[in-house]
């Protein structure tokens, strides 16, 4: 069992444009099984969003979640509002806990790693995209409820203050 360490997926512009070739390349590089990143620094900056959408579509065709169990990062300083995939501006901005030197593990670390592997396999077997969509719909329903309860709390405290002033003014 290996420690999850970042793997760079190097793709040419022609591979990013052709969905079948992109899907084959991603299948060989094991996204979701190890943390990976794709750098878009060699591609034209006006096409970064289109290329990121192609990567997302290829991942969906492969049945791999872009976030679970190990994320696939897109490195681009042009993509700011892309929510489906984690985007970072530089390699240095990637999470540091996946940049580890390969070394012999201690027994406790091996035991933890053997426990983590079945959990990661369970996440792969789940339909994470469906679960995230359900979570987003629940969050959208909770926001108006939160706003209404905040408004109710404001009116209740306002009513308490008015009633307290009325009690003080009455002899």
**Does 1 fall in a domain?**
no
Asked whether residue 68 carries a pLDDT value surpassing 80, the answer given is: no
Note whether 26 and 90 are same-domain residues: yes
Averaged pLDDT score across all residues of the chain: 83
116 and 32 in a common domain: yes
| Same structural domain, 52 and 132 | no
Is position 105 within any domain? Answer: yes
Q: Please report the pLDDT score of residue 46 as a whole number.
A: 84
The reply to whether 52 and 81 lie within a common domain is yes
pLDDT at residue 160, rounded to an integer: 95
- Does position 105 have pLDDT exceeding 80, yes or no? no
Q: Maximum distance among all alpha carbons in the chain?
A: 86
Number of separate domains in the chain: 2
pLDDT in tens, 80-97: 777 788 888 888 888 887
Residue 156 has pLDDT above 90, yes or no: yes
128, 65 in Cβ contact below 8 A? yes
In this predicted structure, the answer to whether residue 13 has a pLDDT above a threshold of 70 is yes
Q: Give the 3-state secondary structure percentages of the chain, helix then strand then coil, rounded to 5.
A: 60, 10, 30
Structural domain containing residue 152: 127-171
Residues 94 and 119 in one domain: yes
Q: Is the pTM of the predicted complex or chain greater than 0.75?
A: no
């Amino acid at each position: 069992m290996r420690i999850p360490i970042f793997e760079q997926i190097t793709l040419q512009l022609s591979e990013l444009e052709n969905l079948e070739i992109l899907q084959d390349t991603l299948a060989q590089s094991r996204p979701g099984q190890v943390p990976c990143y794709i750098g878009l620094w060699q591609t034209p900056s006006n096409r970064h969003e289109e290329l990121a959408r192609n990567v997302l579509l290829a991942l969906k065709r492969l049945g791999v979640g872009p976030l679970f169990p190990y994320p696939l990062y897109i490195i681009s300083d042009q993509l700011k509002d892309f929510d489906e995939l984690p985007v970072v501006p530089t390699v240095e901005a990637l999470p540091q806990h996946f940049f580890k030197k390969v070394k012999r593990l201690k027994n406790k670390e091996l035991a933890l790693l053997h426990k983590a592997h079945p959990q990661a396999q369970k996440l792969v077997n789940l339909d994470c995209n469906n679960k995230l969509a359900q979570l987003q719909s629940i969050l959208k329903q909770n926001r108006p409820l939160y706003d209404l309860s905040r408004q109710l709390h404001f009116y209740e405290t306002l009513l308490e203050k008015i009633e307290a002033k009325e009690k003080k003014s009455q002899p």
